[in-house]
Structure 1
Amino acid sequence: MENFNYSVAIVDDEKEALYSYSLILKQAGLKDVVLIQDSREIPIILKERTFSILLLDLSMPYISGFDLLKYLSVEYPEIPVIIITAIKDIETAVECMKIGACDYLVKPIEKNKLISSIKKALEMNRLKEEILGLKHRLIEDKLEQENAFSEIITVNQKMRGIFKYIEVISKTEQPVLVTGETGTGKELVARAIHKISEKKGEFVAVNVAGLDDTMFSDTLFGHRKGAFTGAFSNREGLISRAKGGTLFLDEIGDLSEASQLKLLRVIQEKVYYPLGSDLPKNTDARLIVATNQDIQEMVNSGKFRKDLFYRLKAHHVHLPPLRERKDDIPVLLEYFIEEAALSLSKKPPKYPEELIILLMNYPFPGNIRELKMIVYDAVARCKSNFLSLEIFKDMIDISNTIDKELKSEIVKFYIQMRFPERLPTLKEMEEILVTEALRRSKGNQGIAASMLGITRQALNKRLHKKTTP
């Protein structure tokens, strides 16, 4: 079992069956197994404690398993119940499933079949709890652990929705895949997940980009003395350092195929082998991975293992780019101005209102990281108590943020959609573009001129022509 903290109750009037099933479960790694021979004890025991899953025989004296199933489905619907019985009858099986049993196994039960059924029931219950938890978060519209997200500056509702999802998944043991463009804050999200999980171990981050298979294995799994030339002593890998905590692997899309296979084995078996060692070591580290690549496309093209992708995607957090959360630009601007000024031992400078308009019309290909860099540079270059708009204009070129090929496609599409029959004249098109640029810049001619790729003087001439009879 991947998680040894599950508790299981087995209810059967036969001592031999109880012993047999408990032995199978304990060999599979489940330590908390409670054996109940008298079905009348169930209501009493459940008042004192709960169970992750319950195995229930049907044919028992006093209270039958069938009646007990009805009771459990009403009083304790959150506990998954698996029926284990000698009754090989389709109608009985169907009736049990209708009442609420998650599986129906006929004795004698094979070891692998029993373990597989328990795993499936636990997974289904986990998913149900997460869905219910997410619904609750969305209805409540509040975060239970606001402080865990203190490093992520946002007022955006889409981001708030992501935070609610993170709160639901953080305390599970399943891997988390975090995707998003470069500079969107993937590591900050990973750290928030670790905080909410309340794991006692460390948060260990490693960027796997550029690591070949040997370097990947050595970095994560460590090595034994003499494993290779230069290995003069034992070295513990980062996965050992993350024991009881979280291991964050950034740029997971760059892993070689051999490294992908090793990572898959770690996830499936919870064991790894240091270089030069034949002895397996156990790990209980929670795994979070991130990439800025289109990993689904990599799977489709055969560059990334499909089985590993689906194991990593047990939970998926996708971070929107800054251009899709423009309402965050003003708060991020003020935050970075304060932060930059503090680091430079300067008084935070003020900024013109037009700066917000300028930044709102820039697509930020580097996202939040790019905004931070631009603000830090502007504050460093500021010689007064007021940030110059020209400094920002020098650093970002609104008219040249899309490559020529994409621009051409956008223009073609726009013309076909907007003018399906008659093409406008150049003069008409010029008026449309000027009007739209002024609308987007809220009347600021300097910013509008930057969008159009012309000087302010050239824009003034066009506006003058437009107003002159």
Structure 2
Amino acid sequence: MSNCTSPPLPILLVDDEVLWTRSLSRMLERSGGYGNLLTCHDSREVMGILAHQPVSLVLLDLTMPHLSGDDLLATIAPEYPDIPVIILTGRDQVDMAVKCMKGGAFDYFVKTVEEERLLAGVQRAIRMQQLQRENQILKTRLGRKDLKFPAAVAAILTGDRQMESLFHYLETVAPTSQPVLITGESGVGKELFARAVHEVGRPGKPWVGLNVAGLDDTIFADTLFGHSRGAFTGADRERPGLVEQARGGTLFLDEIGDLSLNSQVKLLRLLQEGDYYPVGSDRPKRSGARIVLATNVDLTARLASGAFRKDLYYRLRTHHIHIAPLRERSDDISLLLNLFLEEAASEFGKKKPTAPPELSVLLATHPFPGNIRELRAMVFEAVSHHQGRILSTRTFRMAMGLTPNAAAGEPLTPGADGAREGISYGDRLPTLTQGANLLVEEAMRRAQGNQTIAAGMLGISRPALSKRLRNQRQEAASTPR
């Protein structure tokens, strides 16, 4: 390999002819500036190289002993779909070129072709991969270039514009002393946002967190405010509460929607007056902590039922961050999937598996009631069972309440506890044929054109769906316009 580091990941040259690889290497370095090259003269070693060395491009000879180029292509394309493969051959064979392109090759060149054409093909392939990587990075950093404290939200992986706008709002309200209310379903990352508020507003200061769900009034007061000596039996010394421990920093109270009305009164006084009484003391203490609160319940519904105080609710609404559920930002699924695959592989001591292209599409059809936490659990469970290079979708399908045998072309059906969504009709019902066609169209839309996934949604086999689609196209073509 040359000392040149262009491209950042090496180009792998695979050919049993040593003189040809030397000539090709000189051309790539001299004319293209590509010196980061790997050469392989034994086709049987290629998959081992790819397993241990990420590459930007494979230049693959078609005719070789042991394993031919088209045989290797059939293995590389599905296992490493992000790596472009350019086929090189000594003979101009149109049928073989078509076969290779259908098999996943990025391009096909005859070795005697002009140097400029081959170099242009290499440049296109490398540029395409670079654009894919840049796009992935941009999706995670979209809108963050104007943030003053991008490191504070670095742990929140997203490419969603609404989420990005929350980061700017967070930077605006974090330095203030007013409470911040963070709402959203369970598993959307409310604590990550709370910590981001802390990192922007109170960097380097104490962070103290408490889940208040299930705490009765006495334990809530003692935990938050502490107690004086002799306050109750066994209180042989004064104990500071979490408010005092968080002085100068941030006190994070999670699940505040579950607080009793008596505890809500105590919390309201702390927020409104800025002071509190330790249990058993008649002398107030001044709070020096910033309060950040979170809940996954609908506080307006709790207000209507009388289970939540209006004065506390309006006090909390001074600064409000609402995090959208994962099903409303499906573009984040592929980003989070990649992150969790890396984390799971590291934890289990395995090589990071390659996710099949259809997995993100399949996951986008799931409502994710557990949000990011549910997706992470799915990925870790799948990786724990994983053995090969391509990640199986079986574990994901089972977690989604679907039968795991769709790969064999059998229908996917909702599990016993699978969610069922209602269907709305207008004043006039469609005919059975019209209704079936509408269901097929909607399934294909949700599955982004993936027939296997769409067939699973409809509870039919893929061949049955293909037949329906053919019939619909024929009917549309024969209908007079």
Q: Say if 2:159 is the partner of 1:155.
A: yes
Superposed CA RMSD: 2.6
Measure how far apart 1:225 and its partner are: 3.0
- Whole-Å separation in 1 of the counterparts to 2:207 and 2:237: 25
Q: Are the counterparts in 1 of residues 160 and 331 from structure 2 also a CA contact under 8 Å?
A: yes
* Residue number in structure 2 paired with 1:453: 459
**SS of equivalent to 1:275:** coil
Q: Aligned pair 1:258/2:256, yes or no?
A: no
CA deviation profile, 1:268-323 (whole Å, cap 9, x unmatched)? 22111111122211111001111111112222332111111111111000001111
Question: What is the TM-score when the length of structure 1 is the normalising length?
Answer: 0.64
Give the partner amino acid of 1:358.
L
Q: Does the alignment pair 1:333 with 2:337?
A: yes
| Structure 2 residue aligned with 1:279 | 283
Alpha-carbon deviation of 1:403? 8.5
How far apart, in 1, do the equivalents of 2:326 and 2:268 lie? Answer: 33
Give the corresponding residue for 2:247.
Answer: 243
Alignment partner, residue 398 of structure 2: 394
Cross-structure match for 1:170: 174
The counterpart of 1:438, out of the listed 438, 444, 448, is 444
- Secondary structure of 1:450's counterpart equals helix
Other-structure match for 2:206: 202
In the TM superposition, residue 368 of structure 1 has moved relative to its aligned partner by 0.8
Change (3 A) 1:271 1:193: same
* Structure 1 match to 2:183: 179
Q: Residue 372 of structure 2 aligns with which residue?
A: 368
Question: Whole-Å Cα distance in 2 between the matches of residues 301 and 403 of structure 1?
Answer: 29
Deviation at 1:428, TM superposition (A): 2.7
Paired residue secondary structure (2:171):
helix
- Kept in 1: contact 2:244–2:288 (CA 8 A): no
> Counterpart of 2:129?
none
List per-residue Cα deviations over 1:194-224 (Å, max 9, x = no partner): 0001355311110000000011011111122
CA displacement at 1:468 relative to structure 2:
9.2
Per-residue CA deviations over 1:220-277 (Å, capped at 9, x if unaligned) read: 1112233223334332211111000000100001111111101111112211111112
1:424 corresponds to which residue? 430
Q: Is the contact made by 2:401 and 2:416 (CA closer than 8 Å) also made in structure 1? A: no
Indicate the residue corresponding to 1:352 in structure 2: 356
Structure 1 letter corresponding to 2:220: F
Letter in 1 for 2:210: V
Aligned length: 324
The equivalent residue for 1:214 is 218
Alignment of 1:394-413 (within 5 A): 394-397=398-401, 400=414, 407=421, 410-411=422-423, 413=424
2:266 is aligned with 1:270: no
Tell whether the 8 Å contact from 2:383 to 2:391 is kept in structure 1 after alignment: yes
- Residue aligned with 1:332, SS: helix
Q: Is the 8 A contact 2:443 2:458 kept in 1?
A: yes
Q: Which runs of 5+ in 2 are unaligned?
A: 1-141, 403-412, 476-481
Aligned 8 A contact 1:220 1:239 in 2: yes
Deviations, residues 145-193 of structure 1 (Å, cap 9, x unaligned): 1110011011111111000000000100001110111111111001000
| CA displacement at 1:349 relative to structure 2 | 0.3
Q: Deviations over 1:314-333 (max 9, x none)?
A: 10000011111111111111
Contact residue 199 and residue 244 of structure 1 kept, 8 A: no
In structure 1, the partner of 2:235 is 231
Q: In structure 2, what is the equivalent of residue 309 of structure 1?
A: 313
Distance 1:461 1:233, change over 3 A: farther
Q: Which residue of 2 aligns with 1:384?
A: 388
Match of 1:189 in 2: 193
Instruction: Give the Cα–Cα distance (whole angstroms) in 2 for the partners of residues 254 and 218 of structure 1.
Output: 17
Which secondary structure does the structure 2 equivalent of 1:159 belong to? helix
- Compute the displacement of 1:443 (Å): 3.2
Question: 1:313 corresponds to which letter in structure 2?
Answer: R
The percent of aligned pairs where both chains have the same amino acid is 51
Give the Cα–Cα distance (whole angstroms) in 1 for the partners of residues 197 and 469 of structure 2. Answer: 53
**What is the deviation of 1:436?**
2.4
User: Kindly tell me: are residues 230 and 458 of structure 1, through their superposed partners in 2, closer, same or farther at Cα, counting changes over 3 Å?
Assistant: farther
**AA in 1 matched with 2:196:** A
Indicate conservation of the 8 Å contact 1:363/1:401, yes or no. no
Q: 1:427 to 1:374 in 2, by over 3 A?
A: same
3-state SS of the aligned residue for 1:431?
A: helix
Q: How does 1:50-199 map to 2 (within 5 A)?
A: 142-199=146-203
Which AA in structure 2 matches 1:198? R
Q: 1:468 to 1:266 in 2, by over 3 A?
A: closer
Three-state SS of the structure 1 residue aligned to 2:331 is helix
SS at match of 1:326: coil
Equivalent pair of 2:202/2:248 in contact (CA under 8 Å): no
Q: Distance in 1 between matches of 2:450 and 2:420?
A: 27
Letter in 1 for 2:294: A
Distance 1:450-1:230 versus aligned 2 partners, 3 A rule:
farther
Give the AA of the match of 2:449. Answer: G
Cα 1:252–1:400 shift into 2, 3 Å: farther
Instruction: Look up the equivalent residue of 2:437 and give its one-letter code.
Output: E
Change (3 A) 1:405 1:157: closer
**What amino acid sits opposite 2:434 in the alignment?**
E
